[in-house]
A and B are shown apart, each in its own frame.
Chain A
Amino acid sequence: MSAPSNLTGDFQPPPGLLGNLASVMAGGAVGTLLRVSGHALRPQAPGTFPWTTLAENLLGAFLLGWLAAWLLARTVGTSSPEDINAHRLRLFLTTGVLGSFTTFSALAVEGIELVALAPGTGFAYLGTSLALGPLLAVAGLRVGGRTP
């Protein structure tokens, strides 16, 4: 007969989807405001290289890699189960803030606009986004994975 897992201290998946959704939504609101603030500070003229979107996307990719490795180093190999608040803080920061701070839809639209108007600039933008995002995510993983 198996003991009820809530008495053994085994990891419990967060039972409340609504609480998880609220964490993601709150993070999404923060990430969106940060992304829009960046564009307010450094507006992009249509048809020019989208430096602001690129900078935000690359920063977000680095920070997500960093955070993923940092969180992994602190939850794997420890005996304490991740509690619901830690899970929701993680959702808030990763899926919420960083997921929404970065954007793929703007990248796609800016990409097709630029490819149509100035193909060289357009392909440079898409190529840079394709190559540097994963590279910065790796850099983030390396930095975040260093044990203090």
Chain B
Amino acid sequence: MTELLVLALAGGLGAAGRYLLSRTVVVNLLGALGAGCMAGWVNALPASIPAPAWASIVTLGFLGAFTTYSTWSLEGVEDFRQGNPLQAVVKLAGTLTAGVALAGMGWWLTALIA
């Protein structure tokens, strides 16, 4: 119960951070890098050590809410509707490709350090 409340609070903070930055591409790329770092770090933990609770608070709560797929989709569609199909494709495919690459980079970096 307490963990759910903390998770909800972390999600609220993530959403507030996204609202304040109000740049969907930037929050999504930052969040992808952060989530990659978290996943790499948790993965590098010895099997005997369970992942701490705060790891899922950060990953599922804060970063999950900080980043957004629905707004990313809708913003791409808006570019199409305003007659910028190239910008839409670059934004959608480019952000996803860069996000996956950054998640991989974060994973690799923390695995290297951990």
Interface residues of A (CB under 8 A from B): 20-21, 24-33, 35-36, 39, 57, 60-61, 63-65, 68, 91, 94-96, 98-109, 111-113, 115-116, 126, 129-130, 133-134, 136-138, 141
Contact = CB atoms under 8 A, between A and B. Distances in A.
Interface of B: 4, 7-16, 18-20, 28, 31-32, 34-36, 39, 59-61, 63-74, 76-77, 80, 88, 92-93, 95-96, 99-104, 107
A115 B74 CA distance: 26
A105 B31 contact: yes
A126 B77 contact: no
Contacts of A98: 68, 70-71
A113 B32 CA distance: 13
Contacts of A99: 15, 18, 65, 68, 70-71
A100 B103 contact: no
A141 B15 contact: no
A104 B71 CA distance: 10
Contacts of B36: 108-109, 112
B8 A137 contact: no
A21 B60 contact: no
14 contacts: A28-B12, A28-B13, A32-B14, A32-B64, A32-B65, A35-B60, A39-B60, A91-B19, A94-B71, A104-B99, A105-B66, A109-B32, A109-B39, A129-B96
Given A68-B74, A99-B18, A103-B69, A111 B103 contact: yes
B66 to A, nearest CB: 7
Given A32-B64, A100-B14, A109-B103, 17 more contacts: A24-B12, A32-B65, A36-B60, A64-B71, A95-B15, A100-B64, A103-B69, A105-B28, A107-B69, A108-B32, A108-B35, A108-B96, A109-B107, A112-B101, A134-B74, A134-B77, A137-B70
A64 B100 contact: no
A63 B69 CA distance: 12
Contacts of B10: 32
